[in-house]
């Protein structure tokens, strides 16, 4: 009978005008799991640059459905705290505030709503697990810098999987509490790969933020894809489903440094995590994947310097961040030519050597030199206020079409999961 109705609507010419609401209402099975992925600092310009860097479309390109507006309650240009809060609570707040309204009221988050409905929850990031974006989903503080106060709240909100950096914010007393509450604690790549059958996992892989992907091979840290896969393995055990937020936080840090190679390599790492997520969603059939950066960082442009060209391939030869290269310079920076040859495969000009030697901030100078070689421009070391792409895959993905507010994202997710929110 239902098939007959759909055919009748089609032949009557009504089918093209069926609304999203009608489609969703017709779906028999609700969304059981949601994986909300946030490439921090990412924008359409980064997407374009990465496509040229990779040499083909990214896995996200085929999932593009819309855009979202990023402004905060008190500024056209948001920071990650207000941006994360909007994406976690559906409410605009002031820059610097974590899951609290501009007047100081605590705001319920989509993660807390999922937990209250009986679902498992998880947070994964390449920054500290207490940093602005993950913090906005499971804590409430007036100032994002209050990471020591954020850490215990992640346990208070019973987040089942917590993976990232930030070991310095978890003193022995808090780690003992976590163990008593059933968390297995891991601190390196090997520990993550040898995890037990525990249903709760706390992974703290660095004292502060985790390393950029370009430099990760010098550490014992797992990749974003490995952390994401582990989180899914643990959370999927519960038949009631789960909510997982995954942040590629180092894209933002690369933008702040104006380090194009760092940015492209961390987008690559984020895409590898998206690949693992999509594979799971394809098999599961009840998992919605939503991907959206919280803002643009750095004001990156592809091409520039009075040339109708770009040299993105040049970035493939860079083997370390500018941040790391600076640590390899001698006291008087006289070895800059040797360092840049080793890690960026370029021969510095005498003028470039001089600039590095006298620079107040040699990292910025190195990144400026490399960006110019790639014909990549930057407008700032901070954020910009442009609209950001939204990608979605799985049941209900069409609900994220068009231009929307960042506050719409968690509201739509909650509706598709059929859980009370706000």
- Active-site residues: which are they? 80
Spatial distance between the Cα atoms of 110 and 175, rounded to a whole number of angstroms: 26
Closest CA to 160 of 114, 105, 108: 114
Spatial distance between the Cα atoms of 108 and 117, rounded to a whole number of angstroms: 13
Residue carrying structure tokens 């703290």: 204
115-124 burial by CB neighbour count: b if 16+ within 10 A, else e? bebebbbbbb
Spatial distance between the Cα atoms of 35 and 395, rounded to a whole number of angstroms: 12
Q: First-to-last CA distance in the chain?
A: 37
337-367 burial by CB neighbour count: b if 16+ within 10 A, else e? bebbeebbebebeeebbebbeebeebbbbbb
Q: What is the dihedral of CA 75, 77, 82, 83, to 10 degrees?
A: 140
Spatial distance between the Cα atoms of 301 and 380, rounded to a whole number of angstroms: 11
Spatial distance between the Cα atoms of 309 and 247, rounded to a whole number of angstroms: 32
Closest CA to 158 of 196, 207, 131, 118: 118
Spatial distance between the Cα atoms of 130 and 153, rounded to a whole number of angstroms: 10
Spatial distance between the Cα atoms of 57 and 68, rounded to a whole number of angstroms: 21
DSSP per residue, 287-310: EEEEEE-S-EES--EESBTTBS--
Polymer length of the chain = 422
Which tokens sit at 258? 């104006």
């Amino acid at each position: 009978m239902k098939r007959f109705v759909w055919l009748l609507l089609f032949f009557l010419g009504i089918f093209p005008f069926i609304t999203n609401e009608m489609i969703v209402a017709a779906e028999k099975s609700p969304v059981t799991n949601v994986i909300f992925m946030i490439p921090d600092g990412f924008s359409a310009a980064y997407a374009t640059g990465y496509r040229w860097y990779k040499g083909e479309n990214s896995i996200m390109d085929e999932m593009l459905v819309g855009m979202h507006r990023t402004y905060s309650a008190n500024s056209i240009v948001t920071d990650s705290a207000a941006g994360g809060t909007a994406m976690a609570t559906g409410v605009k707040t002031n820059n610097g505030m974590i899951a609290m309204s501009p007047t100081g009221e605590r705001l319920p988050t989509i993660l807390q709503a999922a937990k209250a409905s009986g679902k498992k929850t998880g947070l994964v990031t390449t920054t500290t697990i207490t940093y602005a974006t993950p913090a906005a989903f499971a804590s409430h503080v007036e100032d994002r810098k209050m990471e020591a106060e954020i850490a215990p709240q992640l346990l208070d909100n019973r987040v089942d999987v917590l993976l990232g950096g930030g070991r310095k914010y978890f003193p022995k007393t808090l780690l003992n509490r976590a163990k008593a509450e059933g968390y297995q604690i891991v601190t390196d790549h090997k520990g993550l790969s040898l995890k037990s059958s525990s249903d709760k996992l706390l992974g703290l892989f660095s004292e502060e933020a985790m390393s950029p992907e370009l430099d990760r091979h010098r550490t014992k840290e797992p990749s974003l894809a490995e952390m994401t896969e582990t989180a899914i393995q643990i959370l999927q055990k519960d038949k009631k489903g789960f909510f997982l937020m995954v942040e590629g936080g180092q894209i933002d840090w690369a933008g702040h440094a104006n380090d194009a190679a760092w940015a492209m390599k961390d987008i690559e790492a984020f895409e590898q995590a998206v690949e693992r997520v999509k594979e799971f969603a394809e098999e599961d059939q009840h998992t919605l994947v939503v991907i959206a950066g919280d803002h643009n960082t750095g004001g990156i442009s592809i091409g520039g310097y009075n040339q109708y060209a770009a040299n993105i391939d040049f970035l493939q030869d860079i083997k370390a961040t500018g941040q790391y290269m600076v640590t390899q310079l001698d006291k008087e920076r006289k070895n800059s030519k040797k360092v840049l040859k080793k890690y960026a495969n370029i021969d510095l000009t005498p003028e470039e050597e001089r600039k590095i030697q006298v620079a107040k901030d040699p990292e910025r100078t190195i990144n400026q030199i490399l960006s110019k070689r790639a014909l990549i421009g930057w407008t700032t070391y901070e954020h910009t206020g442009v609209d950001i792409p939204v990608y979605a895959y799985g049941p209900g993905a069409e609900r994220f079409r068009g231009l929307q507010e960042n506050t719409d994202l968690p509201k739509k997710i909650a509706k598709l999961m059929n859980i009370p929110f706000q």
